[in-house]
Amino acid sequence: MNDDQLQQAEERSETEIHRRSIRSFVLRQGRMTTGQQRAFDELWPRWGLMREAGRLDQQQVFGRVAPLVFEIGFGMGQSLIEMAQAAPQQDFIGVEVHRPGVGKLLSGMEEVGIDNIRVYNDDAVEVLKECVDDASLDAVQIFFPDPWHKKKHNKRRLIQPEFVQKLRVKLKVGGFIHLATDWQDYAEQMLEVMNGAEGFRNQAGDGYAPRPERRPTTKFEKRGERLGHGVWDLLFERIN
């Protein structure tokens, strides 16, 4: 291999490493409160799941087989708790990389007395790949993901064509993706990606959906509404 070929090979290798290392989140663990740490320490063995355990067995984990909802990035978990309370006939898997949010969710679950949520403190992309069977999910919900609003960072946005197809194979036919964002530019990108995605149908026709009643309005969202910010929901059903 001559010098030019060696240089080209090195450049291709660096590009591939960079491509694989792109993440849609920045790991900002922050400081856990005493309550969050207690909840994590005491309740994780009851409701926490480990990616290293491999494929998810819903019957074993929940003690039943029920409609299964998979939420990516639940933040501090309040809306997920409210949804699980309102739909006790469904099971929910929440995935969040930030440990304080996991601790807060676990604490909230204990406080309201619900048992139909299980939690991964991990990267959702890896959890989907290693733990979730194909055609096993009834819904995937992604609410207010990091907008990466600087143009040079748009490639880090989670909702991209390749990722949407990874979600599609995990959904049952008839299952749906529910997205929400308060960034108009991201909403437009989401709509473009989803409208062009193979195997999906827009439940709202050709535009955005009204906010479904099942999605609680968060404090963050209410604050944005007071400031005049918009919120856009998208609902797309897997058709094949």
**How confident is the model at residue 15, as a pLDDT?**
43
Angle at 23 (CA atoms; ends 238, 128), nearest 5 degrees: 40
pLDDT above 90 (res 4): no
**How confident is the model at residue 9, as a pLDDT?**
45
Tens of pLDDT, residue by residue over 16-50, are 434 444 554 455 556 899 999 999 999 999 999 99
Burial of 149 (0-12, 13-18, 19+ CB in 10 A): exposed
Question: What is the set of active-site residues?
Answer: 146
Q: Which domains does the chain have, with CATH numbers?
A: 35-238 (3.40.50.150)
Q: Which long-range contacts (CB under 8 A, 24 or more apart) does 39-45 make?
A: 39/103, 39/104, 39/106, 39/107, 39/110, 40/99, 40/102, 40/103, 40/106, 43/106, 43/107, 43/109, 43/110, 44/102, 44/106, 44/119
Tens of pLDDT, residue by residue over 160-202, are 999 999 999 999 999 999 999 999 999 999 999 999 999 999 9
Tens of pLDDT, residue by residue over 194-227, are 999 999 999 999 899 999 999 998 777 887 788 8
Burial of 103 (0-12, 13-18, 19+ CB in 10 A): buried
At which residue do the structure tokens 């240089």 appear? 7
Give the whole-angstrom CA distance, residue 76 versus residue 42.
18
Phi, psi of 64, rounded to the nearest 5 degrees: -170, 170
Tens of pLDDT, residue by residue over 53-90, are 999 999 999 999 999 999 999 999 999 999 999 999 99
